[in-house]
Amino acid sequence: MATGAVTASQGYKGQFENAGTLVRGATAPILTYGALNALLFMTYNRTLSLLNDSPASPQNFSKVFLAGATGGLASFVVSAPTELVKCRAQVATSATTTSWSVARDVWKAEGIRGLYYGGGITSVRDAVGYGF
pLDDT tens digit sequence for 31-81? 899 999 999 999 999 999 898 876 567 678 899 999 999 999 999 999 999
Q: Is the pTM of this model over 0.85?
A: no
pLDDT score recorded for residue 10: 52
Show the 3-state SS of 62-112: HHHHHHHHHHHHHCHHHHHHHHHHHHHHHHCCCCCCCHHHHHHHHHHHHHH
